[in-house]
Structure 1
């Protein structure tokens, strides 16, 4: 049996990569991953945005957890061919479905839930259990032989005090959720378990050793203390006295470069400049069943790669082989009610027709109502043509101004008008009004010149000089300098060479929101790697490895100006 975990960085990003873009259904994608239990993190979607193909792919049973507040953020899912006997969302036991889960449907006894045996928080602050389970980070499934926890831990992306506390509290809640059972924890833990799991581990240790006076033990302790997540993970693993075993590292104890996450913004995956933050952890009682465990860096589609665990189908025993199939609860009476197959939108239940429509529009008041529907206008209503003209000039004014109420007509006026023509329905304009000429001629639209002073920048002044030189060329045909300048202006930019390697650079575009968004720039074309030059502010000169990317940077506009100056 194979268990696979993968931070997919968005359920809709996978089909953009090969070979997923050749597969037409979610079922085909899951089949291609070739696992019995598939755990996803960072779904980045909501229940309302899930299609039936993604929510209930046959023959898988699917479970989801979405964030309560944000959309397109976090979220975890489990697709399994093996039907679990129980399923829950979150770690606290406070998240529930309707009707609520019974004691028999619960995975753990009441004492195992933090709401019944509170977890101590750091300092004097109490844990906000509902808040810890509000971001769609955990699913818990009971397969009889073991309890599976699919988790997406908070990252270190911010130094905000509230997020640091949230991360610490979440770690504590995860590690203290007692099951008294065999447990498999899979997912993105957003922490490194050792120095070897970080691409900059050796450089970091070297710097910490210098700060610690040359003591290696002090340097290693400083590494763990730098990030709370590292220290928590070390203490949770067996090497630090904890209950969990990192089965992938156990299979490959000295393997370097076994990374699962890369920064795609700097193309770090091509040079394997990454970290290992995705894990499969098991309790010691399951180790005899572990056949193999590994990462799958060849699988593309995310900034993470999958991690897999294979279990033996049977184990030898003095009383006969123990079959994994018999150890698992595969004869569940029914699929747990948390499954997406019970969602109303996919369950096949008949829904009331009213649910497909919004709220009914307010009933229009009759002519005999004592309360007018709008303020009474004492001025005569404008003719249809003027109304049409005003409507065409500003559509926003239609819904913002009250509709004038017509004064009651006398009996003679009513009889007279009825003889002439059939009255128009309320608010309906005559067809002829659409062909009426406006009373005043339409004024031409005048586009004023921009007063933006920024237009007079260096590029603009250079273009002016080129234009003047072109006029001069007309007067003196012997001059070819202007011709060369214009030729350089229209020619594509030739990439400059970086100063360290003297190699052609590559051009990129700023995508980050801000004043520079959309601008092009050139950087060194070599890949990043341990010791690549991040700049003097972030990298000591003695730690720079010239084999990797240098810190060359130049705006494309500057490169073009330099080329034009040579021609002018």
Structure 2
């Protein structure tokens, strides 16, 4: 059995990439991923915008969680070929469907939900913890497969420095670990947590790990152990994840790292805005975590960086169908929900819009009802609305004269003279009302007074004029002269340079042609073009003196060359003039 997790960065982005653009349905995409349980994060859609093809693929039971307020944001989905016995949205037990889940339909007894007892926080004060708010952004789905409880989760990122979002992130982390803790300790359940945790577990999971370690060593007196501890303490998310894993005394096993303990560059997320994926300049923030009791079933675990379609890549876990190296055979299927046939009510197949309870909009535009027959006419036999077919001898003559007959059969407009009373009445009607309809002749009347010419006054402030404008004026004045002097030849060359495409400048470090990009960020410079070094980013690439110490710069990667395209153009024109 295979479990796959993937932050897809929007359900609509996948079909834009190969091979997904060759597949016509969502079910075909899921089949191509080749997994029994598929967990998506960052769906970035809403229930209202979800098509039936995506919501209810035929061969899968599908479950969704969307943010309550913000649309096109967050959201998780789980598609599974194996029918779970129970399914819930969220981690608190406060989110519910209509009619509400019964006690038998719920995964856990009331005491196992954080909403029924306090959640442990670092300050030991959860009075300000709004559990329902933590569960309102569509970040978690919990499915019970009998052998284990699967949690598909998308943790908040720490890209913003806003204090409220940092607090929200840490509160969500603690809520997640508390839910898992109670499943393990109170219910003695095995747990699988999959998804985007938005945190690095160790230095090896960060593209800048060696540089970070070097800096932290200098601060910590050269001790590597102290430097690593400083790395985890640098961000609260890292510290939380470290303590949640067995290496930090927690209950969860990072199964992919366990399979590949010393593997470098095992990243799952890249910044596509700087083309970081091409040089594998990324981080590992997507995980499959399991409890220790499932370790004997683990056959393989890995990442799939070759799968495109998002700024993340899938992570997979393969479980044995039969437990190896045991005296008594243990097979996987009976330990799962093999006897369960009914899909839990959280499934999208029960949504009104897809279950047949709610009429779709296109039913209102279906076939028109047949026209009623007149009550007065009761024909005993069908009436023929077309003449009987002519004899075969008449077909040729009818065909030759069809055009003439068609013209004769069309009505001819007849011109009638108006009486005096009709003329007077129509002239009365033609008098325009001040606020009524204008006469047709008013659209063809000449203006009473000629428009005054617009006078443009030159500004006294010549410093405001654009440099390109002054150069163009200079070129246009020189182009008016008809004489073939050296200066006119120089002017023609300047015009050619003005109209010619920009030749990319060379970066100062590598002396290689730079690449041109366009500003897409909203602001004063949006739409402007600029040149930067064409080399890929990598560990130690030059971010500039403000962000990168000179001794940490690796010249093999992108340098900090930058120049506006307009500046490159002006320099080329100056050379011609």
What is the TM-score normalised by the length of structure 1?
Answer: 0.83
Asked if 2 retains the 8 angstrom alpha-carbon contact of 1:120 and 1:127, the reply is no
Structure 1 counterpart of 2:34 = 34
Query: Per the alignment, do residues 35 and 556 of structure 1 end up closer, same or farther by CA in structure 2, a change over 3 Å counting?
Result: same
| Local SS of the residue matching 1:218 | helix
Per the TM alignment, residue 120 of structure 1 is displaced from its structure 2 partner at its CA by 3.1
Query: Per the alignment, do residues 254 and 461 of structure 1 end up closer, same or farther by CA in structure 2, a change over 3 Å counting?
Result: same
Per the TM alignment, residue 61 of structure 1 is displaced from its structure 2 partner at its CA by 0.7
The RMSD of aligned alpha carbons is 2.6
| Local SS of the residue matching 1:314 | coil
Q: Distance in 1 between matches of 2:76 and 2:533?
A: 38
Structure 1 counterpart of 2:271 = 263
1:224 paired to 2:232 = yes
Query: Per the alignment, do residues 350 and 265 of structure 1 end up closer, same or farther by CA in structure 2, a change over 3 Å counting?
Result: closer
Structure 1 counterpart of 2:260 = 252
Asked if 1 retains the 8 angstrom alpha-carbon contact of 2:152 and 2:193, the reply is yes
Asked if 1 retains the 8 angstrom alpha-carbon contact of 2:253 and 2:290, the reply is yes
Structure 1 runs (4+) deviating above 6 angstroms are: 431-434, 442-455
- Alignment partner of 1:342 out of 338, 350, 364: 350
Unpaired runs of at least 5, structure 2: 366-424, 430-435
- Alignment partner of 1:197 out of 184, 198, 205: 205
After superposition, the C-alpha distances for 1:310-359 in whole angstroms (9 at most, x for unaligned) are 00001147663111110101322511110000011100125499x989xx
Query: Per the alignment, do residues 352 and 567 of structure 1 end up closer, same or farther by CA in structure 2, a change over 3 Å counting?
Result: closer
| Local SS of the residue matching 2:169 | helix
Per the TM alignment, residue 214 of structure 1 is displaced from its structure 2 partner at its CA by 2.0
| Local SS of the residue matching 2:115 | coil
Q: Distance in 2 between matches of 1:164 and 1:478?
A: 68
Q: Distance in 2 between matches of 1:100 and 1:173?
A: 22
Structure 2 counterpart of 1:315 = 323
Q: Distance in 2 between matches of 1:449 and 1:144?
A: 82
Structure 2 counterpart of 1:127 = 129
Per the TM alignment, residue 513 of structure 1 is displaced from its structure 2 partner at its CA by 0.6
Per the TM alignment, residue 441 of structure 1 is displaced from its structure 2 partner at its CA by 5.7
Asked if 1 retains the 8 angstrom alpha-carbon contact of 2:134 and 2:168, the reply is yes
Structure 2 counterpart of 1:461 = 470
- Alignment partner of 2:193 out of 181, 185, 190: 185
Per the TM alignment, residue 535 of structure 1 is displaced from its structure 2 partner at its CA by 0.3
| Local SS of the residue matching 2:102 | coil
Q: Distance in 2 between matches of 1:210 and 1:485?
A: 56
Query: Per the alignment, do residues 561 and 126 of structure 1 end up closer, same or farther by CA in structure 2, a change over 3 Å counting?
Result: same
Asked if 2 retains the 8 angstrom alpha-carbon contact of 1:290 and 1:312, the reply is yes
Structure 2 counterpart of 1:213 = 221
Asked if 2 retains the 8 angstrom alpha-carbon contact of 1:5 and 1:307, the reply is yes
Asked if 1 retains the 8 angstrom alpha-carbon contact of 2:533 and 2:559, the reply is yes
Asked if 1 retains the 8 angstrom alpha-carbon contact of 2:120 and 2:178, the reply is no
Per the TM alignment, residue 440 of structure 1 is displaced from its structure 2 partner at its CA by 7.4
Unpaired runs of at least 5, structure 1: 358-419, 425-430
1:508 paired to 2:509 = no
Q: Distance in 1 between matches of 2:486 and 2:282?
A: 60
1:56 paired to 2:56 = yes
Q: Distance in 1 between matches of 2:16 and 2:189?
A: 40
1:437 paired to 2:445 = no
Structure 2 counterpart of 1:137 = 139
Structure 2 counterpart of 1:153 = 155
Per the TM alignment, residue 459 of structure 1 is displaced from its structure 2 partner at its CA by 1.2
1:43 paired to 2:60 = no
Q: How many residues are treated as equivalent by the alignment?
A: 497
Asked if 1 retains the 8 angstrom alpha-carbon contact of 2:232 and 2:238, the reply is yes
Asked if 2 retains the 8 angstrom alpha-carbon contact of 1:121 and 1:127, the reply is no
Q: Distance in 1 between matches of 2:439 and 2:155?
A: 63
After superposition, the C-alpha distances for 1:482-519 in whole angstroms (9 at most, x for unaligned) are 01101111111110111000111111111111111111
1:279 paired to 2:281 = no
After superposition, the C-alpha distances for 1:122-166 in whole angstroms (9 at most, x for unaligned) are 434531101100100000000000000000000011111100110
Structure 1 counterpart of 2:375 = none
Per the TM alignment, residue 279 of structure 1 is displaced from its structure 2 partner at its CA by 0.2
Q: Distance in 2 between matches of 1:58 and 1:335?
A: 13
Q: Distance in 2 between matches of 1:197 and 1:317?
A: 33
- Alignment partner of 2:535 out of 526, 532, 544: 526
Query: Per the alignment, do residues 158 and 350 of structure 1 end up closer, same or farther by CA in structure 2, a change over 3 Å counting?
Result: closer
Structure 1 counterpart of 2:70 = 70
Matches within 5 A, 1:381-420: none
Asked if 2 retains the 8 angstrom alpha-carbon contact of 1:84 and 1:330, the reply is no
Query: Per the alignment, do residues 207 and 350 of structure 1 end up closer, same or farther by CA in structure 2, a change over 3 Å counting?
Result: closer
After superposition, the C-alpha distances for 1:371-405 in whole angstroms (9 at most, x for unaligned) are xxxxxxxxxxxxxxxxxxxxxxxxxxxxxxxxxxx
Q: Distance in 2 between matches of 1:352 and 1:214?
A: 68
Asked if 1 retains the 8 angstrom alpha-carbon contact of 2:353 and 2:360, the reply is no
Q: Distance in 2 between matches of 1:24 and 1:455?
A: 56
Asked if 1 retains the 8 angstrom alpha-carbon contact of 2:532 and 2:562, the reply is yes
Asked if 2 retains the 8 angstrom alpha-carbon contact of 1:260 and 1:306, the reply is yes
Select between 461-470 and 192-201 the one with higher mean Cα deviation.
Answer: 461-470
Per the TM alignment, residue 217 of structure 1 is displaced from its structure 2 partner at its CA by 2.4
Q: Distance in 1 between matches of 2:283 and 2:444?
A: 73
Asked if 1 retains the 8 angstrom alpha-carbon contact of 2:276 and 2:538, the reply is yes
Structure 1 counterpart of 2:551 = 542
Query: Per the alignment, do residues 317 and 522 of structure 1 end up closer, same or farther by CA in structure 2, a change over 3 Å counting?
Result: closer
Per the TM alignment, residue 436 of structure 1 is displaced from its structure 2 partner at its CA by 6.3
Q: Which has the larger radius of gyration?
A: 2
Structure 2 counterpart of 1:374 = none
| Local SS of the residue matching 1:437 | helix
- Alignment partner of 1:294 out of 295, 302, 317: 302
